[in-house]
Amino acid sequence: MPRLRVHNLGMSLDGCCAGPDQSVEHPLGVGAEQLHEWMFETKTWHEMAGEEGGTTGLDDEFMRAGIDGIGATVMGRNMFGPVRGSWGDSDWRGWWGDDPPYHHPVFVLTHHAHEPIPMQGGTTFHFVDDGIESALQQAFDAAGGADVRLGGGVSTVQQHLRAGLVDDLHVPVVPILLGGGERLFADPSVLDRYECVEVVSTPGVAHFRFAKSAS
C-alpha cells in the first residue's frame, strides 16, 4: 500500500519547527534556517542543486530517503508562500524559482481556489480547497502507486497526525534554541497513534522516526 510520509521536519531543542517572526525575508522564522544546514551538506542535496561533492553517511541516507519512492507531494499554503487570504492578483509561484525541486505534482491546501501552476521540470502546483482527504486522494491518484510526501507547515503536519493519516514521520532534532515559534508537539496528543521506531544521530543532528502504532 502506498504511504504518506513526512521527512526532514527539522526541530530545535526547544521543540520548534519554525522560528518566530516569519516573513518573506525569514520564511521559516528568525534563525530556523539552521534546522536545515545538515541537509545542505549532503551529497543528495548537492546532486539536487546540480553540484559536485557533499557528505555521505547517515545524514545523506535520511536526505535520500525523503526523495526515493515519492510520486506526489501535499503541503500547506504557508509552505507554498507568504500570500494570505484571497489570492487576488498575486503572481506568486512558490519559493523555489522556475524549476522547483519536486519534479512531480504538488497539491497545496488552501481555502481559496486557484488555477494550477505548471512549472519547469515536471512540477505542477495544484490547489485544493475542499479538505485534506480530497488533497490526499488526488495526490495518491497522481502518484500512480508511489508514496506521497507531506510537507509543512507545522499545523498541516499536526492535522494529518491527529487524523492518523501519516504513516512515517521523520523529525531531525538540531542542537539549537529558537526561543519561540511553532512547536510540533505543543499538544502531545498528536502522537497518540504513533510510536518511536528509530533514534540515530550524527554530531550535528539526532534523527527520530515515528510510525503508526500496531494497536
Give 125-174 pLDDT, tens digit per residue: 999 999 999 999 999 999 999 999 999 899 999 999 999 999 999 999 99
- Phi/psi for 126 (5° steps) reads -110, 145
Asked whether residue 202 is assigned to any structural domain, the reply reads yes
Q: What is the pTM of this model?
A: 0.94
Domain that holds residue 41: 4-19+27-83+99-212
| CA 79/CA 81 separation, integer angstroms | 6
pLDDT 10s digits, 183-213: 999 999 999 999 999 999 999 999 999 999 8
Asked whether residue 159 is assigned to any structural domain, the reply reads yes
Q: Are 112 and 92 in contact (CB under 8 A)?
A: no
pLDDT of residue 82: 87
C-alpha cell at 153: 507547515
Please count the structural domains in the chain. 1
Asked whether residue 90 is assigned to any structural domain, the reply reads no
Confidence of residue 28 (pLDDT cuts 50, 70, 90): confident
Asked whether residue 93 is assigned to any structural domain, the reply reads no
Asked whether residue 120 is assigned to any structural domain, the reply reads yes
| CA 101/CA 36 separation, integer angstroms | 16
